[in-house]
A and B are shown apart, each in its own frame.
Chain A
Amino acid sequence: AQSVTQLGSHVSVSEGALVLLRCNYSSSVPPYLFWYVQYPNQGLQLLLKYTSAATLVKGINGFEAEFKKSETSFHLTKPSAHMSDAAEYFCAVTNRDDNIFFGQGTRLHILP
């Protein structure tokens, strides 16, 4: 069985500060991991994905995530937050032979 846990349903950071959104996964086989972003009244957009290549994955809008097998983590980071980053972020896991499973989401608030 696979699952993801996102720590913190709401995260607030100041504009220009580091963004860190936490995701831990559970999978009995090597996982494929994703981060999606959802802006208000829109569907989910793929930010980045890990598919067993480089453990540090760079995505769109300056985001990146690092796959750490020993910690079963795939945290999302961005060095400097921008007001336009305010959105809900979802971590997801799959092993390609199964469906994709989403975390509960983390809403990111950017403080001026």
Chain B
Amino acid sequence: DAGITQSPRHKVTETGTPVTLRCHQTENHRYMYWYRQDPGHGLRLIHYSYGVKDTDKGEVSDGYSVSRSKTEDFLLTLESATSSQTSVYFCAISDPNSDGYTFGSGTRLTVV
């Protein structure tokens, strides 16, 4: 997927446990994003990053935190997973010189 990988691809976790999803890029793009995809809602932005240690909230950021200590890695953490966070999570990257986003293959997270 054009130099962007997400891990894990699938995860089942219990309510109340912390979970970290990883997005790794080899494109050296400045911008990275985390979205969640739910039926009837399309893709909703959780958090995004515009550089190392520079992050900001999206429209559905409650219950999530992010970190970007290196250009290539953008981590999404659910501090205490809830069933409402069961979803498919997509990472995306973009560059100011491009006009679109490149997406990872997604992480399917189930909170039981």
> Given A32-B99, A43-B105: A104 and B48 within 8 A (CB)?
no
In A75-102, which residues have CB < 8 Å from any B CB?
90, 96, 99-100, 102
Give the size of the chain B interface in residues (CB under 8 angstroms): 22
B interface with A by C-beta (< 8 Å): 1, 33, 35, 40-45, 48, 58, 90, 92, 94, 99-106
A interface with B by C-beta (< 8 Å): 9, 32, 34, 36, 41-46, 49, 51, 90, 96, 99-100, 102-105
- Are B42 and A42 in contact, with the CB atoms below 8 A? no
> Given A34-B100, A46-B100: A102 and B42 within 8 A (CB)?
yes
Q: Which listed residue, B1, B41, B101, touches A100 by the CB 8 Å rule?
A: B101
Could you give 14 example pairs across A and B, Cβ below 8 Å? A9-B40, A34-B99, A36-B103, A42-B105, A43-B90, A43-B104, A44-B90, A44-B101, A46-B100, A46-B101, A49-B99, A90-B42, A99-B58, A100-B94
- Grouping DSSP codes into helix (H, G, I), strand (E, B) and loop, the A interface class, with mixed when no group exceeds half, is loop
When distances are taken between beta carbons in the complex, the residues of chain B under 8 Å from A46 are: 100-102
Chain A CB within 10 Å, residue with most, of B35, B100, B103: B100
- Are A104 and B41 in contact, with the CB atoms below 8 A? yes
- Are B43 and A102 in contact, with the CB atoms below 8 A? yes
- Extra contacts, 10 of them, besides A42-B105, A90-B43, A99-B58 (Cβ < 8 A), are A43-B103, A44-B101, A49-B100, A51-B99, A90-B42, A99-B33, A99-B45, A102-B35, A102-B42, A102-B44
CA distance A22 to B99 in the complex (A): 21
Closest CB of chain A to B10's CB: distance in Å? 10
Closest CB of chain B to A110's CB: distance in Å? 20
